[in-house]
Structure 1
Amino acid sequence: MGRIVAKDVEAFAAAQAQAQAQAPAATSTPVPAAAAAAGIELGTVVPFTTMQGAVSRNMIESLSVPTFRVGYTITTNALDALYKKIKSKGVTMTALLAKATALALVQHPVVNSGCRDGKSFTYNSSINIAVAVAIDGGLITPVLQDADKVDIYTLSRKWKELVDKARAKQLQPHEYNTGTFTLSNLGMFGVDRFDAILPPGTGAIMAVGASQPTVVASKDGRIGMKNQMQVNVTADHRVIYGADLASFLQTLARIIEDPKDLTF
């Protein structure tokens, strides 16, 4: 059942030929099916929406900041197991990653800092994790405030609430413009690694790739399979240096690879 055989192909071809014979002659260049389905009129000039304009200004402002990037490979077997165990209670992987990041930032406050005037920087008093979300017509970053202090279950409920409000375009300014550190996760699309652009006024943004089964060698020389993900952090080099990011990523890896503190 469901198997395609020769007579199916022949019947389809005959039906297509009949449909073409009955259709009126084309008077313009055919529009690709994908474009037509999306309601896109090819060849037209489309002005930026208010959101796209804001994103454009932020991206241009970002170009004035001297940034650098550091990547790290993190084993996720323990995190995956924890997620499988508690996702039925409403816990999301986004909340787990945000919580782990926030706990690591507690130990590395300079990575949670921000520079706005080019002459000084601020050690932020709160750890507010902004998470990039694609919505119709653009991109927005709902903020999980005080993510280091909120328990994982409350954090997950808050994240769902923020996403629902973002998609309904009902977020209040303080719910998207108070982030001190940003996460951008394309892992759910199968992307294994990428770089993110630093939001103005913040110290760092972390790009998270998909966790994938990987053949690895242990310290004793044995070969095994582990789930691993690539993270890449883009940081403001006026404030944060290579050693700062390296230490932060080591701490983050320890938390994710032994995630017992994420549920307390």
Structure 2
Amino acid sequence: MTGLLHLHSTLLPSASALRRRAGAPAPSSSRRRCRVEAKIREIFMPALSSTMTEGKIVSWTAAEGDRLAKGDPVVVVESDKADMDVETFHDGFLAAVLVPAGESAPVGSAIALLAESEEEIPAAQSQAASFSSSGAAASPPPPQETAAQEASPPTPPPPSPAPIAVSAPAPPSPAAQGGARVVASPYAKKLAQDLGVDLFSVTGSGPGGRIVAKDVEAALAAPKKAVPVAAARPDVPLGSTVPFTTMQGAVSKNMVESLAVPTFRVGYTITTDALDQLYKKIKLKGVTMTALLAKATAMALVQHPVVNSSCRDGKSFTYSSSINIAVAVAIDGGLITPVLQDADKVDIYSLSRKWKELVDKARAKQLQPHEYNSASHVQSTGTFTLSNLGMFGVDRFDAILPPGTGAIMAVGASQPTVVGTKDGRIGIKNQMQVNVTADHRVIYGADLAAFLQTLSKIIEDPKDLTF
């Protein structure tokens, strides 16, 4: 769902009203009765999440002077978690842009003016000039904000700034300029994903070089061009200071908040031979190991609801009514935790399909607020978090507890391990280490030990995971 622009109406006299004040003849009384005062509306920076305090303008999808209809996307805003198309819910003309692409503005501040009629555009532009002179418009943000997406030092700016943690693309098309990211409509992004088209190679024909669906279709039909495997991008100069991106700032804030929670950690070794065999049998049906682990965790939480609880006020704790597994995903420039809702009730095949969809949307920065861990959407907030570094060969690690949750489990790689068998012999089994970090105000050591024993039994005998 796209966001809705906040607009505030400012009543301005029309040109005919000004003529009357100057002594021109007034219109007939019947005409006067039908007359409607035109409006100029301030377009405000919307709050796209409960943690968002400011937003960055990725691109304006409409240009000054463009006619807009209710529901038309007008601007792409980067929040602390995703890029979102923001629509207007009024007809009119985009009269003046107060905050250009690439700059940031506080939530609730004016970013543009919308005129109800074309004849009001000059008046709106005069009003925009007064915004600039009075400082009401968003002033140029400090270096740490304007350079939030750049990998080079803010002073002096390099001729070709490079984005942080973005996979090396082909030379940027118009849709990739200005914010060091692809600017495309949500439908174009989905179409490109379905057709396997790299949006970095597509030249947009929409306003400001924005990619639309027809551009994706044209790129698919065009002859393929040879692209260097590793397009060079400037490295970050050693000794430089790189400010946080919006997302990195949100992650930093959450991590600092977590320090106020008294936590403890419990580790456990789980044999994965049976789970590995099951995975080999069903992975061709689209099942992922992440979905298997999430399903096993959810089934264990059903039997240990206290591990699925949370303490928010320091005086009480809440048993969650549903089991929503949030799974950490590393994306360009940060970390996000898409949520698998009701993971205990969804079959493994549907859960895997949902997980793939969430990951694709997360990496395209198109997750909607109800799809990731967000305090503003309590019903969809993850009630338990998984962090898996096993695919990188990490054997064990500790994870930091996200604010508002009771526990997070860090999953290491499954590795062949020499073990003693029950008959006193030596054998080899695949084993993985899991470490759970929990809020000690709510969850005690015995609670975690019992939960991990149940989880181990489910993973070591995983027949129920496919039902």
Give the shorter-chain TM-score range.
Answer: 0.7 to 0.9
Say if 2:358 is the partner of 1:162: yes
Q: What is the deviation of 1:220? A: 2.0
Q: SS of 1:253's equivalent?
A: helix
Q: What is the deviation of 1:38? A: 5.9
Say if 2:416 is the partner of 1:218: no
Q: Which residue of 2 aligns with 1:191?
A: 394
Q: SS of 2:238's equivalent?
A: coil
Q: SS of 1:118's equivalent?
A: coil
1:11-30 paired onto structure 2 within 5 Å: none
Q: Which residue of 2 aligns with 1:238?
A: 441
Say if 2:275 is the partner of 1:76: no
> Any idea what the Cα deviations from partners look like across 1:120-170, whole Å, max 9, x if unmatched?
111000100000000000000010000000000000000000000000001
Q: Which residue of 1 aligns with 2:327?
A: 131
1:35-114 paired onto structure 2 within 5 Å: 39-114=235-310
Q: Which residue of 2 aligns with 1:118?
A: 314
Kindly provide the amino acid, as one letter, of the partner of residue 48 in structure 1.
F
Say if 2:402 is the partner of 1:207: no
> Any idea what the Cα deviations from partners look like across 1:154-188, whole Å, max 9, x if unmatched?
00000000000000001111111210000000000
Question: What RMSD in Å do the two structures reach over aligned CA positions?
Answer: 1.0
Q: SS of 1:229's equivalent?
A: strand
Q: Which residue of 2 aligns with 1:145?
A: 341
- In 1, Cα distance between the equivalents of 2:329 and 2:360? 11
> Any idea what the Cα deviations from partners look like across 1:11-49, whole Å, max 9, x if unmatched?
xxxxxxxxxxxxxxxxxxxxxxxxx85632222221111
Q: SS of 2:270's equivalent?
A: strand
Aligned length: 229
Q: SS of 2:451's equivalent?
A: helix
Q: SS of 1:226's equivalent?
A: strand
- In 2, Cα distance between the equivalents of 1:51 and 1:248? 33
- In 1, Cα distance between the equivalents of 2:234 and 2:312? 40
Kindly provide the amino acid, as one letter, of the partner of residue 97 in structure 1.
L
Kindly provide the amino acid, as one letter, of the partner of residue 244 in structure 1.
D
Normalized per residue, the structure richer in helix is 1
Q: SS of 1:228's equivalent?
A: strand
Q: What is the deviation of 1:219? A: 2.1
- In 2, Cα distance between the equivalents of 1:79 and 1:57? 37
Q: SS of 2:310's equivalent?
A: coil
> Any idea what the Cα deviations from partners look like across 1:50-99, whole Å, max 9, x if unmatched?
11111011000100000000000000000000000000000000000000
Q: What is the deviation of 1:240? A: 0.1
Q: What is the aligned-residue identity percentage?
A: 90
For the structure 1 residues 38 and 81, does the alpha-carbon distance in structure 2 shift closer, same or farther, using more than 3 Å as the test?
A: farther
> Any idea what the Cα deviations from partners look like across 1:202-241, whole Å, max 9, x if unmatched?
0000000000000100122121110000000000000000
- In 1, Cα distance between the equivalents of 2:417 and 2:240? 45
Q: Which residue of 1 aligns with 2:466?
A: 263
| RCO higher in structure (CA 8 A, sep ≥6) | 1
